[in-house]
Amino acid sequence: MDDIFELDVEPPARTASDREAFFVPKPGLSGLAPDFFAPAPTGCHRKKNSKSTFPLNPKSAAFLARHYPQAKPCQWNQWHWQLKHRITSLSVLETVLDLTADERKALQPGKDMLPMAVTPYYASLLDPRDPKQPLRRCVIPTMDEHRILPCEEGDPLGEEQDSPVPGLVHRYPDRVLFLVTDFCSTYCRYCTRSRRVGKRETAQGPGRWEAALRYIGRTVQVRDVLISGGDPLTMPDHALEYLLQRIRAIDHVEIIRIGTKVPMVLPQRITASLTHMLKRYHPLFISIHSAHAEELTPEAALACSRLADAGIPLGGQTVLLKGINDTIAALTSLFQGQLRNRIRPYYLYQCDQVRGTGHFRTSVNTGLDLIRGLRGHTSGYAVPHYVVDLPRGGGKTPLCPEYFQGRDRDELIFKNYAGELFRVYDPADVFASQKAGAA
C-alpha cells in the first residue's frame, strides 16, 4: 500500500502536497478490476459523446481565445488540462488581471501564507479591472491577510484536538470528518483549513487513509462519514472510488457525504464517468460550497445537473463574507440560483476566526438581519441555517432572528417577517391547571 505511482497528468506543483495529491496506490486489492488504477485518458481523442461536452460561457470563451490561443475548446473542457494550467504565480496572474499594488505585494513569497491557485476557468470569471469584484476578492490575496487579530488562530475550530488519528476529526458522536487530501484546484482566501491546504503538513494518499479507515471500522457509533479536505473531487475517479468502496464496506456506516467546491471552480471535473461511479455508493450526499451567484454559470449548472441526475442530494454551504455576499440582494440571488440548480441552501456560516480573515468577517447582527430579510421574502427552501462554528471544537450552533416576543396570559406574541405582531392562543398551562384541579 505504500508503493505509489504518478498519474499521467499532474498540475504544475507549487508545493509538495500539490504533487502528492495526484498519487494513488498500485493495484493490490482483491475484487477490483485489473484496470481500476489505470490513468485516465487525456487529449481530445475520446469516444464521441454529446453528454461529455461542456458549454463555454461568453466570458470563458473570450478568455480562452485571448490567453490560451493554442488550446482547443475540448482541451479547456478537460479537468486535467484545467489543473495542469492552474495559475499559481504572480508572473502568470499579472497577464490576466490588472493587479493593484496591494495585490502585487500580497503575492510576493511569504512564510505560512495560504498558496494562491486559480483554475483558468475560474480566472475567466474574474473582472480583470475591478479588484473589488466578489469573485476576485474570494481568490486573489491582499495584504489584509497579514493583519492578524487577537481572536484569530491557525486551527480556530480545534480540529486537531479532536483528531484520534491523522486526517480524521471525530467531534460529534455519530459522524466523522475525513480529510483525505490537502489539495484544492482553487484556494479560497478565507479557508478554515488554510493552516494545511497546499502545504506539506500531512502525507497524502492511502498511506494516511488506512489509519482513518481502521478507526472508522472499529468505532461502531460512526454512521456518517463526511469526506473533505482540501477538495476530494480533485482526486481521480479510481482513487475516490477506492475510498468510497472501503467506507461502504463498513457495516455500521449508513451515510457518506462529500464536501467540495469543484462544481463552482472546476465544473469540467464532473464527468459522466465520475457520476456513473458515484451513483454506485448511495446513500451519498454532496455539499457544494459557493460564495456568489456569479459562480452559477452554464458550466456549473451542467455539473450540478449531472450530480443531481445521478440521484445525489445536493446541499449548499456558503460563508458570509463582508463586501462579497453580505447583502440581501446578493444572498437572495445566490440561494435562489442554487435552488434552480437543484442545490438546497443548507448552511450560511459566520466566517471562522482563521488567521488573516478579519477583513472578511461581518458582525453576527449583520447575519441575523440578512436571515430576517430573506425569511418570508423568498421560498423557505432558499433560506439556510445561519450558524457559528464555535471555537475550540464547540461545534455548529444555529442563530435565528427573534420572532417570539413573549407571553400575555394565555397567548403567545410573535413578530412575523414583516414586523407585524400576532397572538397565538397557547392552552398548555390551562390544561395543566385543570388536570391539577381534577386531581
Identify whether 344 is a catalytic site residue.
no
Better-scored residue on pLDDT, 408 or 110: 408
**Per-residue pLDDT, 277:** 98
The active-site residue out of 121, 138, 184, 269 is: 184
pTM higher than the cut 0.95: no
Q: What is the pLDDT of residues 274-324, one digit of tens each?
A: 999 999 999 999 999 999 999 999 999 999 999 999 999 999 999 999 999
Starting at the edge strand that comes first in sequence, how are the strands of the sheet with 421-425 ordered?
404-408, 411-415, 421-425
pLDDT for 11:
33
Rounded mean pLDDT of 47-59? 70
- 348 against 207, higher pLDDT: 348
- Residue type at 419? G
> For 233-254, what is the mean pLDDT?
96
The active-site residue, picked from 352, 355, 361, 372, is 352
66 is catalytic: no
Among 175, 257, 269, 372, the active-site one is 175
pLDDT band at 64 (very low <50, low <70, confident <90, very high): very high
Catalytic residue from among 171, 223, 279, 344: 171
Instruction: Give pLDDT, residue 231.
Output: 96
Residue 269 falls in the annotated catalytic set: no
What's the whole-number mean pLDDT along residues 236-247? 96
DSSP run (H or E) holding 385: strand 385-390
pLDDT value of position 436: 56
Q: Are 167 and 202 in contact (CB under 8 A)?
A: yes
**Is 389 tagged catalytic?**
yes
pLDDT for residue 27 is more than 60: no
Residue-wise pLDDT for 83-102, tens only, equals: 999 999 999 999 999 999 99
Q: What one-character-per-residue DSSP string does 243-277 give?
A: HHHHHHTSTT--EEEEEE-HHHH-GGG--HHHHHH
395 has a pLDDT exceeding 80? no
Strand order in the sheet with 284-289: 168-169, 175-179, 224-228, 255-260, 284-289, 314-320, 343-350, 385-390, 395-399
Residue 176's closest CA among 262, 233, 253, 251?
Answer: 253
At residue 224, what is the residue type?
A: D
| 171 assigned to active site | yes
- Catalytic annotation, pick one of 200, 342, 344, 396: 396
Give me the catalytic one of 188, 246, 349, 355: 188
Instruction: Name the catalytic one among 19, 105, 172, 415.
Output: 172
Say which range, 3-12, 126-135, 160-169, 430-439, has the weakest mean pLDDT: 3-12
Confidence of residue 59 (pLDDT cuts 50, 70, 90): very high
List phi, psi (to 5°) of 131: -70, -10
Distances, alpha carbon 188 to alpha carbons 116, 120, 249, 297, 342, in Å: 8, 15, 34, 18, 23
pLDDT at 28 over 70: no
Active site residue 175: yes
Helix (H, G, I), strand (E, B) or coil at 60: helix
- Total residues belonging to the chain: 439
Which of the residue ranges 100-104, 148-152, 269-273, 285-289 would you say has the lowest mean pLDDT?
148-152
**3-state SS, residue 337:** helix
Give the C-alpha separation, 118 to 405, whole Å: 48
Q: Look at strands 168-169 and 175-179 and give their pairing.
A: antiparallel
| Amino acid 30: pLDDT | 33
User: What is the spatial distance between Cα 4 and Cα 207, in angstroms, rounded to a whole number?
Assistant: 10
Average pLDDT, stretch 34-39?
Answer: 38
44 given a catalytic annotation: no
Average pLDDT over residues 181-189: 95
Q: Which residue has the higher pLDDT, 130 or 434?
A: 130
Q: How far is CA 285 from CA 172, 211, 224, 279, in A?
A: 18, 24, 11, 10
Higher-scoring residue by pLDDT: 395, 147 = 147
From 193, 208, 306, 372, active-site residue:
193
pLDDT (mean) for 146-153: 90
- Nearby residues of 268 by Cβ (< 8 Å), 6 or more positions away: 54, 76, 77, 78, 79, 82, 121, 299, 303
Nearest to 285, CA basis, from 234, 336, 346: 346
Q: Where are the domains of the chain?
A: 4-31+54-146, 160-397, 404-438
- Please list the alpha-helical segments (H only) found in 22-139: 58-67, 73-76, 79-84, 90-93, 101-106, 120-123, 134-139
Is residue 344 within 8 Å of 337, Cβ to Cβ?
A: no
Tell me the average pLDDT across 64-81.
96
pLDDT (average), residues 333-352:
96
Q: What is the largest CA-CA distance in the chain?
A: 89
pLDDT of 24 reads: 35
Radius of gyration of the chain from its Cα atoms, rounded to whole angstroms? 24
Mind listing the pLDDT tens digit for each residue in 396-434? 888 888 877 888 888 888 888 778 888 888 876 554 555
Q: Which amino acid is at 172?
A: Y
Question: Residue 428 has what pLDDT?
Answer: 63
Catalytic site residue 396? yes
Q: Was domain 160-397 assigned CATH 3.20.20.70? A: yes
C-alpha span between 39 and 174 (Å, rounded): 36
Q: Is the pLDDT of residue 256 over 90?
A: yes
138 is catalytic: no
| Candidate list 18, 155, 182, 389, residue with the active-site label | 389
Dump the DSSP string for 203-231: --SHHHHHHHHHHHHH-TT--EEEEESS-
Q: Mean pLDDT, to the nearest integer, of 325-330?
A: 97
pLDDT of residue 399: 85
In the residue annotation, 172 being an active-site residue is answered as yes
Residue 80 has pLDDT above 70, yes or no: yes
DSSP type of residue 153: B
pLDDT at 109: 78
Distance CA 102, CA 98 (A): 12
